[in-house]
Every structure is written in C-alpha cells, then in structure tokens.
Amino acid sequence: MTMPGNAAASLSRGGNARVAGAGSWGRGEGGARRLLNVVVAAVGLVLALPLMLVLAALIKVTSRGPVLFRQTRIGLDRRALMHAGGNTRRHLDLGGQPFTLHKLRTMRADPRDRARQVWTAPDDERVTVIGRLLRRLRLDELPQLVNVLRGDMNIVGPRPEQPAIFVYLREQIEGYQRRQRVRPGITGWAQIHQGYDMSVDDVRRKLAYDLEYLRSQSALEDLKIILRTLPVMLLGRGGR
C-alpha cells in the first residue's frame, strides 16, 4: 500500500517533528511489566547473538548492502506524561515519538526505497532468498531487542508503523491513535493471531486485538504472549 502523496510529503520531515496536541493517557505500563520486558530483551540478546552473527554473515555474502535495515517508526505517545502546554498546534502531529527501528535486512538495498513508505506485498520481488526465510521465521526482528533496551519498544505491544502509513491509518480507522498509549512491541496479542498487514481491513482487525491488550496489559499477560510467540516463529505462521 502506498500512501497518498500529500501525506507522505508532509511527513518527510517527520524525524524533526514534535508530538502535538493533548489526549488521555490511560493506564500506562507498570514497573513490573517494563522490568520483565527489559530482562527478556537482555537475556534474548545474549542468547541470540551467535545466531545474529551467522545471519549477518549470510546476508552479507548473498546480497549487496548493509546487514541492518533502519527505518523511522512511530512510538509511544508521551503527551499526557509530559503535560505539554502552550501552542503545540504549531508542530506536526505524528501521533507518537518517532524512533529508529532496526531489522536484519531482508530486501535488496535500493536507495530509491528509502523515501517510500509502503507495506511489503506478498511475493515481493525485492525480498532476497535469505530474507524470505528470515521474514517467515520472524528472525529479522531480532535487532529490535536493542530498541527494547533503549526504551523505544517493549517485547510485547502493538507493532510500530511508518509515519506516513500511521497518519493514513489514523484517518481511515476510528480509534487507531489509542494503540500509541503503550510502547510498541516486537510481538503482541495481534501478531500471534494474525500475519503481516496487507490491507486496511487487516489493520482494523489487528486494532481490535491491540485495544483488547491495552485493557488487560500486565507482566503476566506479556509473559503469556511471549510464550505463545515461540510456536508462531517456529511454524512460520503469517510470515512472508
């Protein structure tokens, strides 16, 4: 899915934009929940490091370009936490704090793709042979453990979206903004029930799961979702 030209153009400066407006915060995250996510990320990073080095070598020898793929995503909406005052309408409202998400590169490196904000299509010809395997097993997401330790993400939460796509979906789906009340995650309640997004209807169904998670979020729920993510990865369900 490609975003309308005006939305993509207005967000090309998204990295320097501030979060604007005001909104309700909801319950937020408890200390126990954040601690669980950090501990799991730290242990997971140590255990996954040998595998990541092997995957990095395979990516490097099978296709040209960097090992890591970096992309701006929209994260936690901190507005209620900051109690922002003054004339915040002067700033572009991205709906959350932009951050740089890291992945193992699964596509051919093409500088022309950097400015494009689109979903990956089924059987996308840009995906490399190694990349298709990584995406099917969700192994391309492993570098995001660093994002968790940096505070950009949690292990569990709604998946972060690209800025232009986020604005488009916020306009198309009522209540989409509410998913930004928690840190985005590597996996989530929506991810273990449904695969990658291919349409607005897919996102609408995922939003229902995300909002259900927001209502029941806790350290115990996060642990359950983490454990249920493992068979999804091993079976390659929903990957493409």
Is 240 domain-assigned? no
Question: Cα separation of 189 and 206, whole Å?
Answer: 9
Q: Is the dihedral of CA 47, 218, 159, 224 positive or negative?
A: positive
Q: Specify the 3-state DSSP secondary structure of 154.
A: strand
DSSP 107: B
Is 162 domain-assigned? yes
Tell me how many helices (H) and strands (E) the chain has: 8, 4
Contact assessment for residue 56 and residue 102, using Cβ atoms and an 8 Å cutoff: no
Is 94 domain-assigned? yes
* Residue 98: how many other CB atoms lie within 10 Å: 22
Low pLDDT (below 70) residues in the chain: 1-28, 80-92, 111-122, 236-240
* Domain housing 156: 5-235
In the chain, how many domains are there? 1
| pLDDT the model gives residue 30 | 76
| pLDDT the model gives residue 24 | 37
| pLDDT the model gives residue 91 | 54
- Token look-up 């596509």 returns 107
Contact assessment for residue 103 and residue 186, using Cβ atoms and an 8 Å cutoff: no
| pLDDT the model gives residue 23 | 37
Is 24 domain-assigned? yes
Contact assessment for residue 77 and residue 168, using Cβ atoms and an 8 Å cutoff: no
How many CA within 13 A on the CB side of residue 50?
1
Question: Cα separation of 38 and 229, whole Å?
Answer: 17
Is 113 domain-assigned? yes
pLDDT tens digits, 75-113: 999 874 555 444 444 456 778 999 999 999 999 877 665
Is 56 domain-assigned? yes
| pLDDT the model gives residue 108 | 87
For residue 18, give both structure tokens: 């501030």
pTM for the whole thing?
Answer: 0.79
Is 105 domain-assigned? yes
Rama region for 224: left / alpha / beta (φ>0; ψ in -120 to 50; rest): alpha
Segment (H or E) for 186 = strand 185-187
- Token look-up 């490609």 returns 2
